[in-house]
Amino acid sequence: MWITWKLLKQKVNNLMSRTNQLVLVRHGESEFNLKNLFCGWHDAPLSAGGLEEARILAAANLNEANMVFDKVYCSKLCRSRTTVEAILSEMQCSFLPIVSDWRLNERHYGNLTGINKRVLANQYGEEQVQFWRRNYDGLPPPINESNIYYYQIANNPAFLDVPPNEFPLTESMRMCVDRVAPIWLEIKKEVLMGTRILLVVHGTVARALIKHIEGFSEEQIEKVNIPNSVPIVYEFNMKSGQLVGDVKYLGDSQYIDKMKKKVAAIGD
């Protein structure tokens, strides 16, 4: 009887200690990243270097860590989808289902879209530009018809499923955090049911998700910087939903630190 109870208790403990992983990746360098332009909802493609990053950084590090996935989530923007396709090709699992959801689109940078960050800083000052970029409630001026990307964004067929009353003209970090909250709950539910998910998104959306995942304060998340194509691995207790152990950034730590500093800076 004692042995039976001991085995039963062990089985219960094993069930309660079961874990599952989620991997978060920011897309490879885009053409707008390369030119140091605000991008947001403009559908900029990956640069040649960005495509290479997806293969030799993201995919290679995921393969080295023996990561396996059942499903992939990305945004409606091609830089996110192309990164997914490159990663899955290198991992020889292009058959995986891919869900593209507009709620995972990058933060909308309003009328800053298409403007060089350094040029903007020279005009308005670095403090103002960093306020737009990093302050939790920093809200860029809304995009209008004078912006050369206005109609490309408004008429992008990839955004047809965006409800008209939810189509942004600009967004703060707070608004982005609120936008991703419902889809994060959907994804987390799948993770806790055992689905192994790869999530390929954008810089500010990755930060918004990290705020939900790690429970960061508004002040803490303002200081988080996410390099392109560096996988971030989270492990969850499937019973409690709590994080288990430390968050893992896959790749060379010196390179990752260098790229975090580059992301934080306004650039040239």
Q: How far apart are CA 225 and CA 202, in angstroms?
A: 11
Q: Is 236 strand, coil or helix?
A: strand
Q: Which helix (H) or strand (E) holds 74?
A: strand 71-74
Within 8 A by CB and 6+ apart from 100, the residues are: 73, 74, 75, 76, 80, 81, 158
| Alpha carbon 229 to its chain's center | 10
Q: What one-letter code names the amino acid at 156?
A: N
Give yes or no: 27 in active site: yes
Give yes or no: 222 in active site: no
Q: What one-letter code names the amino acid at 15?
A: L
Binding residues for substrate: 26-33, 79, 106-109, 117, 133-134
The phi and psi torsions of 181 (rounded to 5 degrees) equal -55, -50
Q: Is 251 strand, coil or helix?
A: coil
Binding residues: 26-33, 79, 106-109, 117, 133-134
Question: Which of 53, 106, 171, 202 is labelled catalytic?
Answer: 106
CB distance 27 to 83 below 8 Å: yes
Q: Give the number of other CB atoms < 10 A from CB of residue 127.
A: 8
Question: How crowded is the C-beta side of 264, counted as CA atoms within 13 Å?
Answer: 11
Give Cα separations from 79 to 33, 47, 75, 83, 194 (angstroms). Answer: 11, 9, 9, 6, 28
Question: Which of 27, 53, 171, 202 is labelled catalytic?
Answer: 27
Q: What is the dihedral of CA 21, 27, 29, 30, to 10 degrees?
A: 180
Catalytic residues: 27, 106
